[in-house]
Structure 1
Amino acid sequence: MDNISTEMLFAILGILIILSAYFSGSETGIMSLNRYRLRHLEKQDHQGAKRVSKLLERPDRLIGLILIGNNLVNIAASAIATIIGLRLFGDMGVLIATIALTLVVLIFSEVTPKTLAALYPEKIAFPSSIILSFLLKLLFPFVVAVNWITNGLLLLIGVSSEQRVHHSLSSEELRTVVNDSGAMLPERDQNMLVGILDLEKVTVEDIMIPRNELVGIDINEDWKKIQKQLAQSNHTRVLLYRDNMDDVVGYIHLRDALKLLFKNQFTKTTLIRAIKELYFIPEGTTLNVQLLKFQHAKERLGLVVDEYGDIQGLVTLEDILEEVVGDFTTTMTPTTSEEVNAQPDGSYLVDGSATVRDINKEMAWNFPTSGPKTLNGLIIEYLEDIPEANLSVRIAGYPLEIVDVSDNMIKTVRILPELYVENDKEK
């Protein structure tokens, strides 16, 4: 080293710092790549993506190669910086060289290249993979030897080098990816994808028409009254029962009734013969499971029953599809926006029978959904009593005023979300 000029040592030191920056940036760039985009580019025959994918098949060897190169150049740079320090500053040169090299490596070989690689991983990883692939072949025996030693140490603590990280996403992670897609996906498409993911969390009780709201026709009624009810029905499939809804016998499709009418065979007897058998759904069934069951059974509606066989409500195929694509314009049932009425003072009058989940979805509120399904049930469970009108209560931070109570049910509730926001800011 005595024969090498100080200027030459500075030049070598600069080259080593650049090499250190290369190894640091390459490591961050490759590890920061989006694995799913990488697979997509690989399928598109992108050569850089193919090289990186091959390197990532054995991440232990890739990391070993990068760290070998990085530590080698850093140690060499430290030795050369020490020599330069001794030449320029004598015995104090060791301390000065250590401090100066630490700052230079930290700024130019670590923080700057790694930040750049994290921001533009593809621009860094794909070109650098050419050099890394060459170095891996050149230093393969040395890399394997180092990996063999490190893998042996890992085995001592119960970690196998053959274990691979499977880049699979949970439904919650997929939901985050969809929500963070921004302008890449229209908002409607994002809502549909999130709706599909939500099918496994939502049960039939969350979307069913509750039993007390079911509409049907009593087949023991006068024939003329039955005809009138069929003619005025808002639904193509009509439930038929005897005396009360607890004794449902089936349903009739209006198309079948029209066929009988055109054949001049439209009587109570022929109507009863045309009744279709009902399909029953156990409570607690998730929507993704029920959608498949509807498909396999070739059914479009079913009655939700509890463990005792009692009817809890009605679910249709359209109800499940609306959870994905949103409400159909042809629906005859009231939507949440019709159950939530904005008032001039900023409050909202909400129907007590509105489901908590639909209210949250429509208004972006955060009422708890793990308990009762309706706003009426939520308030009654919270108070543990049927309240009187003009009572105020705060649930999940939202101030509620009970406006109307009748028939042992809360009919109308006033919600003041502005006070919730103010209270949240104070916290």
Structure 2
Amino acid sequence: MNETSLTALFILLVGLIILSGFFSSSETGMMSLNRYRLKHMAKTGHKGARRAQKLLSRTDQLIGVILIGNNFVNIFASAIATVIAIRIWGDAGIAIATVLLTIVILIFAEVTPKTLAALFPEKIAFPASYVLRPLLKILYPLVWAVNLFTTGVLRLLGVSSAQATEDHLSREELRTVVNEAGALIPAKHKDMLVSILDLEKVTVNDIMVPRNEVAGIDLEDDTDTILRQLRSSQHTRLPVYKGDINNIQGILHLRSAAKLLQEPEINKAMLMQLSQEPYFIPESTPLNTQLLNFQKGRRRFGIVVDEYGEVLGLATLEDILEEIVGEFTTDYSATSQDIIPQDNGTYIIDGGTAVRSINKALGWKLPTDGPKTLNGLITETLENIPETNVCLKVGGHRVEVLQIKDNVVKAAIVHPKRLGKRSRPALEPRPAR
């Protein structure tokens, strides 16, 4: 074998190694493509994405043509390297060729191209699709035969291609995608998307205005009292009841009540004529369901009741929307802040504050599967209504009862959770203030 032939074999060997690297990178690049980003790019008309998506629609054929090409060039390269090595080193060249070719293929045709493809899958896969598609058409009979035998072997192992499921994201996986989107999605938009995913986990009982905070019109009050209430109310809609909140007669919109205020004389019958039929909501209704119910019924306001029909509070469309976008209205009924930070890092929290509101505002994880307010959480932990100021542990947080009135915890000091410190006893009597 002359030097010209040896040079030609070297050139051929280098070309085969390059082809081996191409097939290796193509396989990794194709399999590393983000399928959802690929679908989006294909829908927007990206030609490379469309070709790659079509190839990936039959993964068995794609892998078949890549592996056929890769194995062919690797075996051919091995044969060429053996011929060259024997020419140079004689019989010892077989061992030398095996070692050298293994190292070269491992570095230049496997690890390097596959790492590059894993880092930049689109830059590798889209150009590779120009070659793989026509190659698949040329080698289709061979690919079909290989896949036929492969399918038979899989069936012997009890595996069927029909068992493959479509690539769908679960709710938790979608949450992870949103949280890992980085700077591609603004933080506020991330919070909104995650809140939408959480709607089915939250019920109207979690976001309702509790019964003791509901402002309404009692038909047993005198007319002057009702008029004063209508003129000073900060709410758009008011429940109308007779004697007791459980005996709701209707819902009055203040826009309708404005007409009454212009009348020289009004009576309760006129008030009832302007009231709408009350809409009742079971307390366990998930927010996503209730949002649809509000939309279907063209309603914005509902009375929350338990399984016995007792009124628990009221829920509005705005309350549900605030769970998604955050607070966008002002609570005119609030005369002071519910959560007041202190200089020592603790918080004075109103006993009627919802546990979910505390968790959202402070990033805590107080238990939400039981009582809905801080007062309820404290009384459940104590298993009785505190008669004096006490200190207790709730969800890993130290809570000091600050004020008790009418058998209700009106305010408490809550300490942030401190890790690594010795915990205090669950109950620790404190002198009354």
The TM-score normalised by the length of structure 1 is 0.90
Q: Match of 1:16?
A: 16
Task: Please report how far the alpha carbon of residue 228 of structure 1 lies from its aligned counterpart in structure 2 after TM superposition.
Answer: 1.0
- 2:146 maps to a residue whose letter is V
**SS of match in other structure, 1:401:** strand
CA deviations on 1:242-301 (whole Å, 9 max, x unpaired) are 222222222211122211233445222211332222101112111111111111222211
The range that moved more, 41-50 or 338-347, is: 41-50
Q: Match of 1:204?
A: 204
Instruction: Tell me: CA distance 1:176–1:219, structure 2 relative to 1, closer, same or farther (3 Å).
Output: same
The range that moved more, 254-263 or 273-282, is: 254-263
Matches within 5 A, 1:173-188: 173-188=173-188
Matches within 5 A, 1:253-332: 253-332=253-332
Which whole-Å CA distance do the structure 1 matches of 2:291 and 2:165 have between them? 32
**SS of match in other structure, 2:126:** helix
Q: Match of 1:160?
A: 160
Which whole-Å CA distance do the structure 2 matches of 1:387 and 1:145 have between them? 79
Task: Please report how far the alpha carbon of residue 389 of structure 1 lies from its aligned counterpart in structure 2 after TM superposition.
Answer: 4.9
Which whole-Å CA distance do the structure 1 matches of 2:326 and 2:273 have between them? 36
Instruction: Tell me: CA distance 1:418–1:282, structure 2 relative to 1, closer, same or farther (3 Å).
Output: closer
The range that moved more, 36-45 or 339-348, is: 36-45
Which whole-Å CA distance do the structure 1 matches of 2:90 and 2:351 have between them? 86
Task: Please report how far the alpha carbon of residue 140 of structure 1 lies from its aligned counterpart in structure 2 after TM superposition.
Answer: 0.5
Q: Match of 1:377?
A: 376
Which whole-Å CA distance do the structure 2 matches of 1:90 and 1:422 have between them? 74
**SS of match in other structure, 2:303:** strand
Q: Match of 2:363?
A: 364
Which whole-Å CA distance do the structure 2 matches of 1:360 and 1:421 have between them? 21
Q: Match of 2:228?
A: 228
Which whole-Å CA distance do the structure 1 matches of 2:180 and 2:399 have between them? 33
Task: Please report how far the alpha carbon of residue 4 of structure 1 lies from its aligned counterpart in structure 2 after TM superposition.
Answer: 8.8
Asked if 1:352 corresponds to 2:351, the answer is yes
Which whole-Å CA distance do the structure 2 matches of 1:273 and 1:113 have between them? 78
Task: Please report how far the alpha carbon of residue 421 of structure 1 lies from its aligned counterpart in structure 2 after TM superposition.
Answer: 8.1
- 2:78 maps to a residue whose letter is S
- 1:361 maps to a residue whose letter is K
Which whole-Å CA distance do the structure 1 matches of 2:260 and 2:224 have between them? 16
Task: Give aligned-pair identity as a percent.
Answer: 55
Instruction: Tell me: CA distance 1:63–1:227, structure 2 relative to 1, closer, same or farther (3 Å).
Output: same
Task: Please report how far the alpha carbon of residue 124 of structure 1 lies from its aligned counterpart in structure 2 after TM superposition.
Answer: 0.6
The range that moved more, 140-149 or 414-423, is: 414-423
Which whole-Å CA distance do the structure 1 matches of 2:268 and 2:83 have between them? 107
Q: Match of 2:121?
A: 121
CA deviations on 1:105-146 (whole Å, 9 max, x unpaired) are 332222221221122111111110011011101111000000
Whether the 8 Å contact between 1:257 and 1:266 is mirrored in structure 2 is no
Instruction: Tell me: CA distance 1:410–1:218, structure 2 relative to 1, closer, same or farther (3 Å).
Output: same
Asked if 1:56 corresponds to 2:56, the answer is yes
**SS of match in other structure, 1:249:** strand
The range that moved more, 57-66 or 86-95, is: 86-95
Which whole-Å CA distance do the structure 2 matches of 1:396 and 1:304 have between them? 28
Which whole-Å CA distance do the structure 2 matches of 1:96 and 1:423 have between them? 66
List alignment gaps of at least 5 residues for structure 2: 424-433
**SS of match in other structure, 2:51:** helix
List alignment gaps of at least 5 residues for structure 1: none
Which whole-Å CA distance do the structure 2 matches of 1:158 and 1:374 have between them? 54
**SS of match in other structure, 1:199:** helix
The range that moved more, 237-246 or 94-103, is: 94-103
**SS of match in other structure, 2:412:** strand
Instruction: Tell me: CA distance 1:380–1:15, structure 2 relative to 1, closer, same or farther (3 Å).
Output: farther
Which whole-Å CA distance do the structure 2 matches of 1:361 and 1:40 have between them? 34
Whether the 8 Å contact between 2:398 and 2:417 is mirrored in structure 1 is no
The range that moved more, 139-148 or 116-125, is: 116-125
Instruction: Tell me: CA distance 1:40–1:423, structure 2 relative to 1, closer, same or farther (3 Å).
Output: farther
Instruction: Tell me: CA distance 1:247–1:281, structure 2 relative to 1, closer, same or farther (3 Å).
Output: same
Q: Match of 2:134?
A: 134
Which whole-Å CA distance do the structure 2 matches of 1:273 and 1:129 have between them? 72
Q: Match of 2:31?
A: 31
Task: Please report how far the alpha carbon of residue 91 of structure 1 lies from its aligned counterpart in structure 2 after TM superposition.
Answer: 6.0
**SS of match in other structure, 1:413:** strand
Q: Match of 2:431?
A: none
**SS of match in other structure, 1:399:** strand
Task: Please report how far the alpha carbon of residue 165 of structure 1 lies from its aligned counterpart in structure 2 after TM superposition.
Answer: 4.0
- 1:405 maps to a residue whose letter is I
**SS of match in other structure, 1:248:** strand
Whether the 8 Å contact between 1:390 and 1:403 is mirrored in structure 2 is yes
The TM-score normalised by the length of structure 2 is 0.89
Which whole-Å CA distance do the structure 1 matches of 2:403 and 2:98 have between them? 78
User: When the two structures are aligned, how many residues end up with a matched partner?
Assistant: 423
Instruction: Tell me: CA distance 1:394–1:25, structure 2 relative to 1, closer, same or farther (3 Å).
Output: farther
Whether the 8 Å contact between 2:209 and 2:315 is mirrored in structure 1 is yes
Asked if 1:70 corresponds to 2:104, the answer is no
Task: Please report how far the alpha carbon of residue 207 of structure 1 lies from its aligned counterpart in structure 2 after TM superposition.
Answer: 0.4
- 1:343 maps to a residue whose letter is Q
The range that moved more, 388-397 or 340-349, is: 388-397
Q: CA RMSD in A?
A: 2.7
CA deviations on 1:167-198 (whole Å, 9 max, x unpaired) are 32222222222222222222222222222222
Which whole-Å CA distance do the structure 2 matches of 1:381 and 1:9 have between them? 84
Which whole-Å CA distance do the structure 2 matches of 1:57 and 1:327 have between them? 45
Asked if 1:400 corresponds to 2:399, the answer is yes
- 1:295 maps to a residue whose letter is Q
Which whole-Å CA distance do the structure 1 matches of 2:303 and 2:28 have between them? 56
The range that moved more, 30-39 or 284-293, is: 30-39
Matches within 5 A, 1:237-252: 237-252=237-252
Whether the 8 Å contact between 1:399 and 1:420 is mirrored in structure 2 is no
